[in-house]
Amino acid sequence: MAEFQAGLIDSKGHYSSNEEHLLDELKRLDLIIGLKVASSRLRPGGEDPYKALYISDEDVCSLLDPVAGSRHQKDDPSLRALADEIALMEEQIEEKSSRSLERGIKLNLSRLAETFRLSRFERDAVLICAAFELDTRYERLYAYLQDDLTRKYPSPGLILNLLCDSPEDKVAFRKHFLSDRPLIDSRPHSRGHGLWWAGPVYVIDPQAK
C-alpha cells in the first residue's frame, strides 16, 4: 500500500484541479477497502474460497460475538499499520485541500460538503457512490465486499461496513440515511444534491455531478 503515498504531497503542496483531488480520495477509498478485506481474512475461514456457499460453525460464533472478533483484529499489527496509513493520507488530503482553497482553487467534493454541511461520514458516503460511477472496478470490489456477485452497487449496508468500526457505530450512523438528512434527496432531482434512493442501492443525484 505504500505506493499510494508516493506523490501524494507534490512540490506544489496543493491540488491544481478537481481531478487531482478526486484521484487521491479514490486512493484513500482503496486503502479503506483494503483494510476491510484484510480484516475479513483474519476471521476463521476468511481464506476459504467456498465460504460464500455455506455457513460454518466459526461463522456462527463470529456473528454471535462480533465484538470479540473486532477486538482481535484491532490487535493485529498489519491492520494497525494500514489504519495508520489511512489516517495519514486523510491528514495529507486535508492539508492539500486547505492550501488549494487558500489559492482560490475550488474542489467540488469539498464545496458540496461545505454547502450542505455534510459530516465526514456523509462526505465519504458520497465518495463511495461516486467511485462506483467513475470506475467500473468498484463494481467487482463492492460485490466482493457484499459477498454476492449480483450486489455490485453501493448500499446502506456496504457504506456502514466500510465506514464504521463497531456495531454501535453502525446503529448510530444509520440516521444519516433518513430522508430528512442532508445526505439523502428523497425527492429525485428536487434539490440537486446528495444521494438518490433507487430501491436497495444509492446513486449520485444527476444534478449534483
Residue with cell 494500514: 82
The backbone torsions φ and ψ at residue 184, rounded to the nearest 5 degrees and listed phi first, read: -105, 130
pTM recorded for the entire structure: 0.74
Condensed to tens digits (0 to 9), the pLDDT of residues 27-75 reads 999 999 999 988 887 765 555 555 555 555 566 565 566 555 555 556 7
Q: Quote the number of domains for the chain.
A: 2
> Where among 106, 128, 144 does a domain terminate?
106
> Where among 106, 131, 157 does a domain terminate?
106
In this structure, are 3 and 102 located in the same domain? yes
In this structure, are 102 and 22 located in the same domain? yes
Condensed to tens digits (0 to 9), the pLDDT of residues 71-127 reads 555 678 888 999 999 999 999 999 999 999 999 999 999 998 888 888 899 999 999
Residue 163 lies in a domain: yes
In sequence order, what DSSP letters do the residues of 136-179 get, joined into one string? THHHHHHHHHTT-TT--S--HHHHHHHH-SSHHHHHHHGGGGST
Q: Which domain holds residue 196?
A: 119-209
In this structure, are 97 and 128 located in the same domain? no
Q: Give helix then strand counts, H and E, for the chain.
A: 9, 3
Cell numbers of 166, please? 463497531
Residue 113 lies in a domain: no
Residue 11 lies in a domain: yes
In this structure, are 125 and 42 located in the same domain? no
In this structure, are 37 and 64 located in the same domain? yes
Name 196's bridge partners: 185, 203
Residue 46 lies in a domain: yes
Q: Tell me what percent of the residues of the chain surpass a pLDDT of 90.
A: 39
